[in-house]
Amino acid sequence: MKASLQRAYWISRVTFLEAVRQRFFAFLVVLGAAMVLSSLSFRFLDFGHGELKFIADFGFGGMFLFGSVLGVVMTAQLFFSEMDNRTALTLLAKPLSRTEFLLGKFFGAWAVLAVFLGVLSLLLGGVMWWREQTILVQAEQRGLLPGVFSASGMFAYALLQWLRLGVVIAIVLTISSIARTFLFAVIVGALAVVAGQLQWIAQDVLLKPADNLAYKSFLWVSSRLLPNLQQFNIGDALVLEPASVPTDAVQWVVVSGIFYMVAYLVLASAIFRRREI
């Protein structure tokens, strides 16, 4: 078991090094950072909400959007670069199981996303803290009580997003195990993420009475095959009103995320074991 984890670690280490050297990663970090910083310029468009909430929503949007793009495209690219360049031939001819190889790819990609989310969270947290200091002074002068930024809430949000992107990576690895081309894996992976974001609609419809059993069955299956990725988006509540988020709701999101992540990795491993290299 220890040797197996060590081999997965070596694969993940090289996968991580390969990914962080890519311009694509740097490009998305810069884009995400630019989006977080640009929230300062657009904060007058807060549509009547608090300034901190606007900045938080803008930053979370950047983390969600670019994190998802990175999770889908980079994971598929890291997988297919090993297949297309035939480095997988060299590696899998060693005493390395395909599950270990896949786990290495997973943890390598997940570590890259930890760096991505870490950088953007620190930046967003810094921007929000800085604005909070200014707003607090102004609010005290006016006798108002503004929303208070929670650093621990930001940390919890970053962890939840990391878990969400872990689920995305696991889904993309499952698709890549079946797919023959990088493009197919990216397109289907992106569709899966969109479907996961909209999965709550299927759940809502499922709760309503319907006569068509086939339709109900389809909704039931589809609402369980794909995780509800929307449930991870509780960022503004966690960061600005942490007391309003029930602990059991966060626990449920974590348990559900881990369940889907493990389930998709098991499925990916089962498929990849049968793949001809």
Q: Which is nearer to another protein, 14 or 237 (CB)?
A: 14
Nearer to another protein (CB atom), residue 14 or residue 33: 14
Q: How far is the CB of 16 from another protein (least distance, A)?
A: 12
Residue 28 makes CB contacts below 8 A (sequence gap 6+) with 66, 69, 70, 116
Distance in Å, CB of 80 to another protein, minimum: 13
CB 11, min distance to another protein, A: 8
> Tokens 């793009």 — which residue?
69
Toward another protein, which CB reaches closer, 93 or 145?
A: 93
Residue 18 Cβ vs another protein, minimum distance, rounded to whole Å: 6
Q: C-beta of 19: minimal distance to another protein in Å?
A: 11
SS3 string, the chain, reads CHHHHHHHHHHHHHHHHHHHCCHHHHHHHHHHHHHHHHHHHCHHHCCCCCHHHHHHHHHHHHHHHHHHHHHHHHHHHHHHHHHHCCHHHHHHCCCCCHHHHHHHHHHHHHHHHHHHHHHHHHHHHHHHHHHHHHHHHHHHHHCCCCCCCCHHHHHHHHHHHHHHHHHHHHHHHHHHHHCCCHHHHHHHHHHHHHHHHCHHHHHHHHHCCCCCHHHHHHHHHHHHHCCCHHHHCCHHHHHHCHHHCCHHHHHHHHHHHHHHHHHHHHHHHHHHHCCCC
Binding site for another protein (CB under 8 A): 3, 6-7, 10-11, 14, 17-18, 21, 85-87, 89-97, 274, 276-277
Q: Is the CB of 49 or the CB of 273 nearer to another protein?
A: 273
- Which residue number, 211 or 276, has a Cβ lying nearer to another protein? 276
Q: In terms of CB distance, is 68 or 75 closer to another protein?
A: 75
Residue closer to another protein (CB basis): 19 or 226: 19
Q: How far is the CB of 21 from another protein (least distance, A)?
A: 5
Min separation Cβ 9 and another protein, Å = 9
State which amino acid sits at residue 44. Answer: F
Nearest to 234 by CA among 223, 248, 250, 255: 250
Q: Which is nearer to another protein, 94 or 142 (CB)?
A: 94
User: Cβ contacts of residue 202 below 8 Å, gap of 6+?
Assistant: 219, 222, 223
Residue 65 CB, nearest approach to another protein (Å): 28
Q: Compute the distance between CA of residue 21 and CA of residue 181 in angstroms, rounded to an integer.
A: 23
